[in-house]
Amino acid sequence: MANEIFLNPDGFEAEVKSLKTAVEGVEKVKFEGVSDLGNKTILDSMSAMIAAIKLFEEMRESYTSFSKKDVKNLEAMKEAWVTKDLALAESMKGD
């Protein structure tokens, strides 16, 4: 297993921005007031739907949390990458 990854500098920034925008969109998805419906009905189908929505909410929260960490890690990776490139360029200048 390799300890290196290849980052394509062309489009990297756009990919990170795209991920960030997608995560923000997912984070906005809400099912407000649905749990209140369970108090107003005794239908099993409604209880099953509410349980599914609550599970979806938990999954959405986990996804956004992990994805936000991914965005931060990608941004840190780019910073380290730029720093390394600058150090390499400096070392190649010569005396």
Per-state percent for the chain, helix, strand, coil, to nearest 5: 75, 0, 25
Residue 69 is predicted with a pLDDT of 96
Short-list 93, 74, 73, 69, CA closest to 14: 74
Residue 71 is predicted with a pLDDT of 93
Question: Is the per-residue pLDDT at 67 higher than 80?
Answer: yes
Distance CA 38, CA 49 (A): 9
Full-model pTM: 0.68
Output the CA torsion sign for 82, 88, 92, 94.
positive
Per the listing, tokens 């969109």 go with 25
Residue 4 is predicted with a pLDDT of 73
Distance CA 63, CA 9 (A): 26
